[in-house]
Amino acid sequence: MSPPPSVDADPEADILFNLLAAELAAQAGDYPQASRYYLDAARLSDDARVAERATRVALFARNFERALGAANRWLALEPDSLEAMQIAAVLEANAGRSREAAELLQRVREQVGGEEGYRVVVSLLVQAEDRDAALLALERLVAADADDPTAWQAHAELALRFEEFKRARTVARAGLERFPDAVQLRLVLARALSELEDPDAALEALAAAVEAHPDRRDVRLAYARALVEVDDFERIRPEFDRLIELAPEDSELLLTTALLALEAGRFELAQDYLERLLASGRRTEDARYYLGRLHEQAGDLRDAVRAYRRITEGEHVQDADLRRARLIARLDGADAARSLFAQLQDDSDEEYAQRAYIAEASALREAGAYDTALQRLAEALVRFPGAPDLLYMRGLVHERAGDIPAAEADFRAILEQDPDNATALNALGYTLADRTDRYDEAYDLIVRAYEQRPDDAAVVDSYGWVLYRLGRLDEALVQLRRAYRLMQDGEIASNLAVVLWELGERDESMAVIEEALERDPDHERLLRVQRELLD
């Protein structure tokens, strides 16, 4: 569609034509064409609203060149528009024009003002597809504003967000040379060092920050988290106690400290803090819920059930009820939990009802009651036809029961709805690798899942296992070691042990199994692999 020829140009008519053509194209779903007409209208019009509309349509069409042209027109017509500046800045960075991006970002920062200005700048640059240009743009801002420690902090934080950890370390150290008392820069430096797998240096940086700012709760909290990560139990308790001393009435801090103690496996310490929180009368539902989690993690399952039963309101009610039902099934058998599961499955919240069906089926699967589990899932799928989570759970039950064709059918039913569903790709691939000889097909499925989730322990485990099945033992070992580092899981441990055994590393193989059995002494696959290897 093009405007009719005319002897005398009529700008208003041209604007109207382009706007009408743009709207017709947009209504037809042809956003690339709509963006072209809107940009033509914006160039002719003095109305900032037209330029704004042109910008948004071009962004929706993912035509960033037109979006930038429209955004610049919008800025020309409305120079103080913060939104126009922000959009144009990101688009300039995407185009690799760091100087132009920096100029716009400086205007954004000045208009927002203070530390918040740099926070906005970082949040904008994180969206940039050209990370080098984004970092260079912020570097230009720092060079022009080098006397502000917040500028150095923003640069280092953006480098962290882009996983440029060495750059973050360099920038943070350079900033600290100029501003040795900049506590936030010390925290950023510690995070960079931690990501670079230098925990001693990270702890040293945090300890220095604590020494310089002994009454800063955020600094001590960061230090406590780092101590938990490196399992430095000798220093954990004093730091936790000091945190509580700094703000004994701060229920949020008391809860956070309790959770850090729980994460560190210091159950007595975590219980002490949670009971103190409960006694304070604040955050009582949180305290009861995490006491339940603590008892569950410590193996005191009856106490966990009692803690969960006391939760009657708040955000944890649903999860507490599901956990209680699962624990009752584990302690007293599935029949003892049937009435509670039925109550939860009857909930008007459809997503929660599905979770309740899945939880019961999982408990039945673990108990070996496969027929009953399949019956429950069949009932659920009548109520929720084609629900992916229910199909996935049924596939897992079929696999455990040894009905591999039925498991495959369920996983493929999910993939018919969502061909790129990484969970189903991984489950089907692992099932084929573990329970059939269709290794090449399994490899293709798992690789598709791995491309989406390269740091998912379950997917990395599957990748390692199919490499083992294909006879690529050295590659398999690399992946299985990485999977086990990501998650200390019995299934992963059993697969790693098998590959170590095949490679002649038999002492390490047995050590992996024994360590995993200490955590989960009843793990079926671990026990089976141990018997098979020793036989």
Residue 284 in domain: no
241-245, 332-336, 422-426, 489-493: which is most confident: 422-426
Structure tokens at 241: 């106690």
Residue 110 in domain: no
One-letter amino acid of 98: S
- Pair 390, 358: CB distance under 8 Å: yes
One-letter amino acid of 523: H
The model's pLDDT over 466-519, given as tens digits with 9 standing for 90+, comes to 999 999 999 999 999 999 999 989 999 999 999 999 999 999 999 999 999 988
Residue in this structure with the two tokens 């399992």, named with its chain if needed: 231
Contact residues for 49 (Cβ-Cβ < 8 A; gap 6+): none
Residue 5 in domain: no
User: Phi/psi at 181 (nearest 5 deg)?
Assistant: -95, 10
Domain span including residue 480: 448-534
Angle at 526 between CA 523 and CA 531, to 5 degrees: 125
The model's pLDDT over 188-217, given as tens digits with 9 standing for 90+, comes to 888 888 788 777 777 777 777 777 777 777
Spatial CA neighbour of 52 closest among 28, 76, 32, 31: 76
Residue 504 in domain: yes
Encode burial over 79-110: b for 16+ CB neighbours within 10 A, e otherwise: eebeebbbbbbbbbbbbebbebbbbbbbbbbe
Structure tokens at 125: 């640059």
pLDDT class of 228 with cuts at 50, 70, 90: low
How many separate domains does the chain show? Answer: 1
Residue 302 in domain: no
Task: Give pTM, 2 decimals.
Answer: 0.66
> What's the rounded mean pLDDT across residues 71-91?
92
Residue in this structure with the two tokens 């560190």, named with its chain if needed: 264
Low-confidence winner among 48-57, 95-104, 113-122, 215-224 (lowest mean pLDDT): 215-224
DSSP 436: S
Residue in this structure with the two tokens 């918040």, named with its chain if needed: 116
Question: From its phi and psi, is residue 483 left (phi > 0), alpha (psi between -120 and 50) or beta?
Answer: alpha
- Pair 344, 352: CB distance under 8 Å: yes
- Pair 466, 453: CB distance under 8 Å: no
Compute the mean pLDDT over every residue in the chain, rounded to the nearest whole number.
Answer: 88
Contact residues for 295 (Cβ-Cβ < 8 A; gap 6+): 301, 303, 304, 307
Residue in this structure with the two tokens 């700094």, named with its chain if needed: 246
Q: How far apart are CA 204 and CA 429, in angstroms?
A: 45
We report the CATH number of the domain holding residue 503 as: 1.25.40.10
One-letter amino acid of 93: A
Residue 398 in domain: no
Q: In the chain, helix, strand, coil percent, each to 5?
A: 80, 0, 20
Residue 492 in domain: yes
One-letter amino acid of 377: L
Upper half-sphere CA count for residue 364 (Cβ side, 13 Å):
26
Task: For the chain, report the end-to-end CA distance as a whole number of angstroms.
Answer: 78
Q: How far apart are CA 434 and CA 455, in angstroms?
A: 21
DSSP 94: H
Q: How far apart are CA 439 and CA 458, in angstroms?
A: 18
Q: How far apart are CA 376 and CA 523, in angstroms?
A: 24
pLDDT class of 167 with cuts at 50, 70, 90: very high
Residue 13 in domain: no
